[in-house]
Amino acid sequence: MTPSATPHQTRLRRRLADDGGAGGVLALAVAAGVLAFSLLALTLFSVLPSKAAVHAAADSAAIAAAESASHSTAERSCAIAAEAASLNGTTLLRCDVSGSEATVAVGRQILTTTFSVTARAAVPRAKPTAANGAMPTDELVQLVYPGVRENPPVSLRSDVAAALVQLLEAYHAETGDYLPVDEGYRDLAEQQRVFDQYGWPRAAIPGTSNHGAGTAVDFVNPPVVRGSQPHGWLAANASQFGFEPLTDPDEPWHWDYTG
């Protein structure tokens, strides 16, 4: 036996029957709105990170082109920018190199639209000084100590040489070993040779190098690398003798005297 409907249930059924299906239409409209909003949100969450990635790729390509401009042709610098853009999932659309400045545009297909970004980068250049790489011989001292290269000899500014010998003696006293010293002062011709071989920023522009000022030393042959015992000792003790590591670019074997 089916229970009879209550007066409230009867009135509700009548309203639903009298609305001509409007309730169903409203429900469909709400569902469609929710779906549209979800698709919009999904699109935004997909597009925004992609756009940010294109901006980063443009910056990377511009920097790559600018950094190579000092020792490469504009065509080669743009080829390097194109490679950097490709590694970041974009395509190089335009590249202009003038002096040490580079302007590039990169693009990426995002959904149905090609999104492009233009970026500019310039590498500051230190101005050469007349004395750098042309120091008088009476301002230089030749280093004579076990582990120091003998041919050609290594020279440094007199106060730097004295500080380095103290460092080398302290290292030997503590470890029983000798640090390998293979580079000190470089004249302009030698710095030019190194610059032609390695380019900027691995090698400083001739006339701007700390080697040319007689204040830089390279612990190489074998090179003192990060994580090695000699590097660990230098990191812990070199500052006591006035030496600081070169970190830009990162060369753990290169240390500069800062006093």
Q: Would 8 be classed as within a structural domain?
A: no
Q: Where are the alpha helices (DSSP H) in 176-256?
A: 188-198, 229-237
170-205: b or e for each residue (b if 16 or more CB lie within 10 Å)? ebeeeeeeebbbbbbbbeeebbbebbeeeebeebbb
Pick from 206, 232, 42: which is nearest to 132 by CA? 206
The whole-angstrom distance between residue 240's C-alpha and the CA centroid of its chain comes to 30
- Clarify whether residues 161 and 253 are in a common domain: yes
Dist. CA 207–CA 31, nearest whole Å = 72
H-run or E-run covering 96: strand 91-98
Q: Would 15 be classed as within a structural domain?
A: no
Dist. CA 77–CA 75, nearest whole Å = 5
Q: Is 84 helix (H, G, I), strand (E, B) or coil?
A: helix
Q: Would 5 be classed as within a structural domain?
A: no
Q: What share of the chain is helix, strand, coil (3-state, %, to 5)?
A: 45, 20, 35
- Clarify whether residues 156 and 248 are in a common domain: yes
Residue 172 pLDDT:
97
What is the number of structural domains in the chain?
A: 2
Pick from 225, 217, 246, 234: which is nearest to 167 by CA? 234
- Clarify whether residues 108 and 152 are in a common domain: no
- Clarify whether residues 99 and 155 are in a common domain: no
Residue 70 pLDDT:
66
Q: Would 10 be classed as within a structural domain?
A: no
Residue 157 pLDDT:
95
Q: Would 190 be classed as within a structural domain?
A: yes
Residue 242 pLDDT:
96
Q: Would 83 be classed as within a structural domain?
A: yes
Q: Would 84 be classed as within a structural domain?
A: yes
pLDDT in tens, the chain (259 residues): 555 556 555 555 555 455 555 555 555 555 555 555 454 444 444 545 666 788 888 888 888 888 777 666 888 889 988 998 888 888 999 999 887 788 989 888 876 777 788 988 876 655 555 589 999 988 999 999 999 999 999 999 999 999 999 999 999 999 999 999 999 999 999 999 998 888 877 888 889 999 999 999 999 989 999 999 999 999 999 999 999 999 888 899 999 999 8
Dist. CA 171–CA 258, nearest whole Å = 19
pLDDT in tens, 165-215: 999 999 999 999 999 999 999 999 999 999 888 887 788 888 999 999 999
Q: Which domain holds residue 170?
A: 137-257
